[in-house]
C-alpha cells in the first residue's frame, strides 16, 4: 500500500475504519429526515410551486408577460440559463479532470458536485424551454428527417450548437454520476431492512457483487467517461459564449468570450459546491470527511479562476479602447457609468475584489467566511451575465429606441422557482442517495486517514529511536 507523506493533511479525520465510513455515509439514507431537512424541503417546494405557476402563466399567455421590449429582446431568461449552465461546470471538473490527475481530495466531494451538475443543467434546460415561447415545437432545433416538412436546422446558428453541446454534456455527466453510485447502491441494498427498499436498491445496483471483475470494469468505465467529459468542460461554456460572440453587437463581438466564460463557469460552479457542501457537512455530520483541507483546496481554485475573470474584465476594457471603435468603447463606458452602473459595480465587487480575500490562509480555512464569499461569488456571476446581456442591448444604434428593462413578477417567479427546483432535487438526492462516494473513499483510508498517519508517525519514531 502506497503511504503518503506525514506532512500532507489527512483527508479523513479520526481513527476511521471501513465500517465507520459505511455507517456514517449510510446514516442519512437509512434514518428519518430531521426537522431542518423538512424545513428546507418546505421552502424549496414552495419556490418550486411558484415556478410551476409562473411557467404555466408564461406558456398560456405568451412572452409578453415578461419585461422584454423592442431593444432588450433577451434578458432574465438567457441570464439565468447561462448562470445555471456555469454552475453545472464544477461537478464534471471535480469528477473528470481531478480523477485523471489522480487527486485524492476529490473523493469526498465529487458525488455532491456531480449531482449539482445534473440538477443545474436541468434548471438551465427549463429556461430554454420557457423562452422558446412555443415549447410544443421544441423539437425543431433537432436534425429531423424531411418528412417533418424540411425543418433541417441551421447549423450556422450557435443556438443549435447549444442543443448538441448541452445535451451531450448532460448525458455524459448523468452516466458518470450513476456509474459512481452503483457500488454504493449495492452497499445500501445489502443493509436494507424492508423488502421495498431492498428491491429498489437491487434494481439500481445492476447486480453489483464487488468482485475483482466488477471493480476492473468500474475503473475502466470511469476513466473512459472522465476522458470524454474533460473536453466537454471546455466546450460547453465556449459554445454558450458563442451565442453572444458570433453576433455583431458591441460588447459581445469579441474572441475573449470562450476562455473567459469557461473560467467564469468553473468559478461560479466551485462557489456553489462550497455553498452546498458547507451545509451538507454540518447537517449530515460529515465534518470528518469533508474537511477544512477540502474547503481550502476549493477556495484556491475559486481564487485562481476569480483572478482570471478579473483579468478578462480589464482586457475587455483595454481592447474596446485599443480598437478605436466608438460604439465598442461606448458599450463598456455605458456598462460602468450608465443607468445599470449598480449591476456592473456589484459584479466587479463580488467577482474580482471579494475572492482576493482568499489570499489569506485564515479566511480560506474559515468555514463561515467561505460560505459568505461563495454566496457573493454566485451573486456576482449572476450580475455578470445580466450586465453582458442587458447593458449591451438596452442602448442600440438608434437613440429613439432606447428603453430600460424591468423584470416582471413572472420572470422573478421563474428564476426563484428554478432555485427551488434545484434545491428540491438536491434535498431528495441527499435523502435517498449516499452524498459521499464511500466505496471509493475506502480506497484511501490506509494512505490518507488521520488514524493511519498517526500510526505511521509512531512507527517511524520508534524506528528512529532504535536506530
Distances (CA, A) of 358 to 160, 239, 296, 364, 406: 39, 30, 9, 5, 35
CB 426 within 8 A of CB 115: yes
Count of CB atoms situated within 10 Å of the CB of 251: 22
Distances (CA, A) of 241 to 79, 121, 153, 157, 175: 12, 16, 20, 12, 25
Count of CB atoms situated within 10 Å of the CB of 344: 21
Count of CB atoms situated within 10 Å of the CB of 282: 14
H helices within 284-408, ranges in order? 292-323, 326-337, 341-348, 361-364, 367-393
pLDDT digits (tens), the chain, 467 positions: 455 556 677 777 777 778 888 887 888 887 887 888 888 889 999 999 999 999 899 888 888 888 888 888 888 888 899 899 888 887 888 888 888 888 888 888 888 888 998 999 999 988 888 887 788 877 777 777 666 665 667 778 888 888 888 888 888 889 888 888 888 888 888 888 888 888 888 888 888 888 888 889 888 888 888 888 888 888 888 888 888 888 888 888 888 888 888 888 889 888 998 998 888 888 888 888 888 888 898 899 999 999 999 999 999 889 888 988 888 888 889 888 889 999 999 999 999 999 999 999 899 889 899 999 999 999 999 999 999 999 888 888 888 888 888 888 998 899 999 999 999 999 898 888 888 888 888 887 777 766 666 666 666 666 556 55
Distances (CA, A) of 271 to 4, 66, 265, 324: 29, 29, 10, 37
Prediction pTM value: 0.88
Q: What are phi and psi of 136, to 5 degrees?
A: -70, -15
DSSP SS3 for 408 = coil
Rounded Cα gap, residues 178 and 198, in angstroms: 18
* Helices and strands (DSSP H and E) totals, the chain: 19, 0
What is the per-residue pLDDT for 1?
Answer: 47
C-alpha cell of residue 177: 454520476
Of 379, 413, 375, give the one whose Cα is nearest residue 47: 413
Instruction: Give the total residue count for the chain.
Output: 467
* Domain boundaries of the chain, sorted by first residue: 18-448
Q: What b/e string do you get for 112-140 counting C-beta neighbours within 10 Å, with b at 16 or more?
A: bbbbbbbbbbbbbbbbbebbbeeeeeeee
Looking at the DSSP assignment, which residues form a beta bridge with residue 12? 449
Distances (CA, A) of 326 to 193, 320, 321, 332: 71, 8, 8, 10
Amino acid at each position: 500500500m502506497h503511504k503518503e507523506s506525514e506532512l500532507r493533511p489527512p483527508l479523513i479525520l479520526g481513527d476511521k475504519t471501513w465500517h465507520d465510513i459505511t455507517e456514517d455515509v449510510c446514516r442519512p439514507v437509512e434514518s428519518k429526515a430531521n426537522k431542518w431537512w423538512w424545513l428546507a424541503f418546505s421552502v424549496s417546494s414552495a419556490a418550486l410551486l411558484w415556478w410551476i405557476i409562473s411557467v404555466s402563466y408564461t406558456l398560456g399567455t405568451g412572452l409578453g408577460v415578461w419585461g422584454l421590449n423592442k431593444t432588450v429582446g433577451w434578458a432574465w431568461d438567457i441570464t439565468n440559463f447561462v448562470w445555471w449552465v456555469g454552475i453545472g461546470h464544477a461537478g464534471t471538473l471535480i469528477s473528470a479532470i481531478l480523477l485523471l490527475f489522480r487527486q485524492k481530495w476529490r473523493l469526498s466531494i465529487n458525488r455532491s458536485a456531480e449531482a449539482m451538475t445534473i440538477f443545474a443543467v436541468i434548471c438551465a434546460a427549463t429556461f430554454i424551454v420557457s423562452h422558446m415561447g412555443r415549447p410544443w415545437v421544441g423539437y425543431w432545433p433537432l436534425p429531423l428527417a424531411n418528412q417533418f416538412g424540411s425543418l433541417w436546422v441551421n447549423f450556422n446558428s450557435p443556438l443549435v450548437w447549444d442543443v448538441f453541446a448541452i445535451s451531450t454534456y448532460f448525458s455524459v455527466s448523468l452516466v458518470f454520476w450513476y456509474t459512481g453510485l452503483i457500488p454504493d447502491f449495492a452497499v445500501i441494498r445489502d443493509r436494507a431492512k424492508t423488502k421495498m427498499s431492498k428491491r429498489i436498491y437491487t434494481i439500481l445496483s445492476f447486480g453489483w457483487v464487488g468482485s475483482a471483475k466488477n471493480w476492473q470494469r468500474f475503473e475502466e468505465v470511469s476513466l473512459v467517461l472522465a476522458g470524454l467529459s474533460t473536453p466537454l468542460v471546455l466546450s460547453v461554456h465556449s459554445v454558450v459564449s458563442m451565442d453572444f460572440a458570433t453576433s455583431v453587437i458591441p460588447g459581445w463581438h469579441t474572441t475573449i468570450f470562450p476562455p473567459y466564460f469557461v473560467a467564469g463557469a468553473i468559478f461560479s460552479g466551485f462557489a456553489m459546491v462550497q455553498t452546498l457542501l458547507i451545509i451538507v457537512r454540518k447537517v449530515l455530520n460529515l465534518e470528518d470527511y469533508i474537511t477544512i483541507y477540502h474547503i481550502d483546496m476549493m477556495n484556491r481554485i475559486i481564487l485562481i479562476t476569480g483572478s482570471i475573470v478579473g483579468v478578462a474584465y480589464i482586457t475587455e476594457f483595454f481592447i474596446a479602447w485599443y480598437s478605436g471603435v466608438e460604439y465598442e468603447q461606448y458599450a463598456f463606458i455605458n456598462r460602468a457609468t450608465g443607468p445599470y452602473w449598480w449591476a456592473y459595480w456589484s459584479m466587479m465587487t463580488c467577482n474580482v475584489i471579494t475572492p482576493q480575500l482568499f489570499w489569506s490562509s485564515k479566511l480560506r480555512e474559515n468555514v463561515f467566511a467561505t460560505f459568505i464569499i461563495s454566496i457573493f461569488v454566485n451573486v456576482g456571476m449572476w450580475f455578470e451575465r445580466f450586465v453582458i446581456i442587458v447593458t449591451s442591448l438596452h442602448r442600440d444604434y438608434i437613440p429613439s429606441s432606447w428603453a430600460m428593462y424591468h423584470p416582471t413578477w413572472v420572470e422573478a417567479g421563474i428564476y426563484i422557482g428554478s432555485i427551488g427546483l434545484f434545491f428540491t432535487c438536491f434535498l431528495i438526492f441527499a435523502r435517498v442517495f449516499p452524498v459521499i462516494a464511500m466505496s471509493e473513499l475506502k480506497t484511501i483510508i490506509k494512505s490518507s486517514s488521520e488514524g493511519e498517519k498517526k500510526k505511521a508517525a509512531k512507527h517511524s519514531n520508534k524506528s528512529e529511536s532504535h536506530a
